[in-house]
Chains A and B, each alone.
Chain A
Amino acid sequence: MPVFTQPVPRDLRAKLFELNWAFVLLIVLTGCIGILMLYSVAGGAWDPWAIRHATRFGAGFLVMLVVAMVPPRMWMSLAYPAYLGALFLLIMVELFGATAMGAQRWIDIGPLRMQPSELMKIALVLALARYYHDLPPEKVSTPGGMIVPVLAIALPFGLIAKQPDLGTAVLTGATGAVMVFLAGLSWKIIVPGMVAGVVGGVAFLRYGLEEYQRARVLTFLNPENDPLGAGYHIMQSKIALGSGGLTGKGYMQGTQSHLNFLPEKQTDFIFTMLGEEFGFVGGIAVLVLYALILGHCLMTAMACRSVFLRLVTMGVTTTFALYVFINAAMVMGLVPVVGVPLPMISYGGSVMFTVLIGLGLILGAHIHRAAEPPKGAGLFG
């Protein structure tokens, strides 16, 4: 396998040379689509969304490149402290967090307002990757090897779900689960686990949801029952998409979005607006763009030599794919409205940085794919 024979680049020039530029190009393209759409949302104005989106994307892009240059060893050493810090912040949010729109999601640190759940997405991926990197493969399916990952996933899932932010919680939990699966968990555990998960999930839907969340789920199952209430968003989104047709109503010509029939069009429903203005052609083009990014991610993961980089890459990839899938499926009425943005296109600061840092990790994994960091001394080594 030639990839493994290749040396690990050490200096900046070599690293830049190894940077997956095609991948970078796809990322830039996606960010530009975001700017284009946010310009349209404001009715053809940079203010208030497009300009800030562009600024954040630019800043996040630089952060991404820096992250890509950092040697994986450094991420490994940061993995556990980062996870514990993120968990601490989530608890702080639970205790003191600012409430916005009925959900505690933010914590104010001086002038900064941050969403610890975003930080947790990265931290969990790093921590699980580090854990499995250190864990001998034969121990993956033993009770002792399973207790830590289960707790590491369950704690943030519970805290985020309680905020309540079901979308992010599901995203975090699912990412963790995929990583455990990829780490080599035995099918003998996976199959009963999935059965238990389904039963637990149904029970959770029944008894564990806030009233508004249950309403969303029920409405999702039958949106026409409540066209002016909870089903309104889904109906209007489908109308916007459907009326877009093959080629759309034209840039900045989306009537559903510009006449405010479409809710939250600069964030969760931006794909709807894109579909209304550019039609099936535009929607498919964006999905293909994401698919290309994800394909690069998968190839990177398989090219990596170390367990850590493989799992980091796949963790980030899973999160990214889930973002895209849940968002698109949500606006098309395939899954309930849970409030998940479309990466790099939706307006929103925290998510933008999470995504770009994550992509930075994948770019870094590509650069350092031949590296094989030594196994550490378990959890506290």
Chain B
Amino acid sequence: MRRDKQEAQAQFNRRTFMVGAGGVGAFAGIGAQLYTLQILQEDEYRVLSDNNQFSFRIQLPTRGRILDRFGETIAENRDSYRIYLIREQAGDPALALDRLSRFMPMSEARRERVLRDLARTPRFQPVTIAEGVDWETFSRVNLHLPELPGVMPDVGEVRTYPMPAAFAHVAGYVQSAPPEIAGDDPLLRHPAFRVGRTGVEIARDVELRGAAGSLKVEVNAFGRVIRELPDQSRPAEPGRDIALTIDSEVQRFATERLGTQSASAVGLDVQTGEIVVMASTPSFDPNLFVLGIPSREFSDLNENPLRPLFNKATNGLYAPASTIKGVISLAALRHGVMRPGERVTCRGSVQLGNRRFHCWRREGHGPVNMHDAIKVSCDTYFYEVAARLGIERIREAALELGFGQLFEVGIPMLSQAGGLFPSPQWKRARTGQGWSMGDTYNVGIGQGAVLASPLQLAVMTARMATGHAVEPTLYPRGGPVHFPRLDFDDAHIQAVHNAHVGVVHEPGGTSYWSLGGLGVEGIRMAGKTGTSQVYSITAEERARGVRDQDDLPWRLRNHGLFICYAPAEAPRYAVAVVVEHGGGGARSAAQPGRDILRELILRDPAGHSGVVAARHEPINLAQGG
């Protein structure tokens, strides 16, 4: 019995020892695994832990401003008031919206959109209820915040254009990046981020954008931000300010002066090529686009026959009409086909084969020399000159003066904004027919297939005025510019110049009566009118009583053109104006053109060095010359 008992005890102790050994083995296994995890694999798990703990929130950069030549703001950023709702704190979302709607009216559609957004967003993440809230509503909501659990007011930045109409086309506007542009870029995909879509905003987008910063934040398992770690964050780098050469006051003046007409104007500093004015009317409000334009308002703009969304100053193409006569004259003088004093007798029309080519003045101008021909805009004289020159020599001079040349001034332009100067090859390729003398006649008075943008007309004017190959720009060149001389004699330039002065200042000049000069004491101007034919009245219509342009519907009326520059003694500013369907250039375009030029002379934007304080100093025209 006792032996059995001792044997049992010994067996028990053996087996206990075995169990204990098993336990030691199990604990050793645990210890080994702990060692593996915490010592051998510490580094990789630390990375995983950091990935859990920290994440980076994007910091939006402040978009650079767009400024005029004096530092006046064209595009800036203002605080945008937003209202968010956080479901976690709000309780029942429908009730929360009911409470909020007492202080902030809310449409049924918005309410539904918010409820939908709330349903698919984590409880603690804010959902946008409204963006761009007005100050009054925003402050009312803020005041009642204690009664509005879960409502979170926030201030962000939004692009704003203080001179909307004047700069809609030049500055352009920004919008949320469309998916095909945004791609996977977290900055571009950020709902509050905007990218340039037109104008300077898109042309200089990268510089204006700046660089996104990152805010290191600690997040919990649900993605809620627990705290921010500014020390380990990279601040956003604000975008660069972009200065333009435009004088915003003249720009505003020009926009208002052209008013509701479908028109455009470009003004250049002829010595630097800087574009001081570039207006296209009617305009639109780019601010509407920033927060998302309602589709009805957009289609109103898009379908408006006056094409407010279209930048006519750079992309509008028109036959230059009589404004080309200076170019033809320079070509004639260069090639000696016409001496300045040589006269051509105008009888109102010339016969070429079985076609009759009219002068705008039915009764004719009588014998005219070059000076008179430009001054009175005699077509007959230029038929003769064109015939003597031939299309190739005309084309050569025209291209030198800027026709057919696409000027990349620093905003996106349509590819056809280079216009067109026809050649026999072009005509054959286009129509399969050979070039005719009639075509040369037409080119000689700027009609037919010749097409130029207002910007090109302004450049042409600047080149005629200076004899230099002026290149336009929208951005300050930051120093004196030496454009190469064009291959014309000074004397020839001077002769053509004198004739252009005559247009305005000599009796008989096409703008003598309508303008009577620049309107600034002691300063004379040069100019040239043009009437670009849109539709030619048929004999049948004439029989029905359609006598002139005023009897035609608006869209068939002629375009009015005017080019001008001043001071006549030492040209500084050149302006080109086109009024679509405005009728004759003398009637519709000359006065706005002169007024814009006078504004430039009076303000003399080139005369002061871009310092705001200098703006109120008396105008120093000697400096301008």
Contact = CB atoms under 8 A, between A and B. Distances in A.
B221 A182 contact: no
B35 interface: yes
A287 B39 contact: no
A182 B12 contact: yes
Contacts of B143: none
Interface string B517-550: 0000000000000000000000000000000000
Given A137-B4, A259-B52, A280-B38, A334 B29 contact: yes
A169 B50 CA distance: 38
A276 to B, nearest CB: 8
Interface residues of B, number: 38
A261 interface: yes
Contacts of A321: 23, 26
Contacts of B222: 260
A318 interface: yes
A328 interface: yes
B366 interface: no
B26 A240 contact: no
Contacts of B31: 284, 287
Contact of B30 (A137, A184, A246, A334): A334
B35 to A, nearest CB: 7
A261 B38 contact: no
A267 interface: no
Contacts of A15: none
Contacts of A240: 49
B613 interface: no
A214 to B, nearest CB: 24
Contact of B12 (A184, A291, A318): A184
Chain A facing B: main interface SS: helix
Interface residues on chain A, size class: 35 or more
Nearest to B13: A302
Nearest to A329: B30
Contacts of A259: 52-53, 218-221, 226
Given A182-B19, A280-B35, A238 B45 contact: yes
B27 interface: yes
Contacts of A302: 12-13, 16
B19 A314 contact: yes
Centre residue among A259, A321, A334 by max chain B CB count within 10 A: A259
Interface in A162-205: 178, 181-182, 184
B506 to A, nearest CB: 87
Interface in B17-33: 19-20, 23-24, 26-27, 29-31, 33
A256 B45 CA distance: 11
Nearest to A4: B9
Given A242-B48, A256-B52, A325-B26, A181 B19 contact: yes
B27 to A, nearest CB: 6
Contacts, number: 123
A287 B23 contact: no
B30 A332 contact: yes
A332 B34 contact: yes
Interface string B3-17: 010001001110110
A289 to B, nearest CB: 11
Given A242-B45, A260-B220, A318-B19, A283 B38 contact: yes
A275 B49 contact: no
Nearest to A262: B221
Contacts of A255: 49, 52-53, 218
B46 interface: yes
Interface in A332-352: 332-334
Contact of B16 (A182, A238, A307, A332): A182
A287 B226 CA distance: 33
Interface string A296-333: 00100110000100100010001001000100110011
Contacts of B46: 242-243, 245
B569 interface: no
Given A182-B15, A243-B48, A287 B38 contact: no
A241 interface: yes
A238 B39 CA distance: 12
B42 interface: yes
A256 B27 CA distance: 25
A242 B42 contact: yes
B178 to A, nearest CB: 32
Given A245-B38, A298-B20, A314-B19, A239 B45 contact: yes
A279 interface: yes
Nearest to A240: B49
A26 interface: no
Nearest to A178: B19
B94 interface: no
Nearest to B7: A137
A239 B52 CA distance: 9
B41 interface: yes
Contacts of B220: 259-261
Interface in A209-232: none
Contacts of B50: 243
B37 interface: yes
Contacts of A314: 16, 19
Interface string A270-284: 000001000110011
A327 to B, nearest CB: 10
B300 interface: no
A280 B49 CA distance: 16
A4 B494 CA distance: 136
Contacts of A42: none
A294 interface: yes
A242 B44 contact: yes
A314 B8 CA distance: 15
Contact of B45 (A184, A241, A291, A325): A241
A116 interface: no
B221 A332 contact: no
B30 A287 contact: yes
A310 B42 CA distance: 43
B30 A325 contact: yes
A275 B19 CA distance: 27
Centre residue among B12, B35, B220 by max chain A CB count within 10 A: B12
Given A243-B42, A243-B46, A332 B33 contact: yes
B251 to A, nearest CB: 55
Nearest to A254: B49
B94 to A, nearest CB: 29
A360 interface: no
A182 B30 CA distance: 24
Contacts of B15: 181-182, 184
A34 interface: no
A149 interface: no
Interface of B: 4, 8, 11-13, 15-16, 19-20, 23-24, 26-27, 29-31, 33-35, 37-39, 41-42, 44-46, 48-50, 52-53, 218-222, 226
Closest 5 CB pairs of A and B: A242-B45, A243-B49, A260-B221, A259-B220, A280-B38
27 contacts: A137-B8, A238-B37, A239-B48, A239-B49, A239-B52, A240-B49, A241-B45, A242-B38, A242-B44, A242-B49, A243-B42, A255-B52, A256-B49, A259-B53, A260-B222, A261-B52, A275-B38, A280-B38, A280-B39, A283-B38, A287-B27, A287-B30, A302-B12, A310-B16, A325-B27, A328-B30, A332-B34
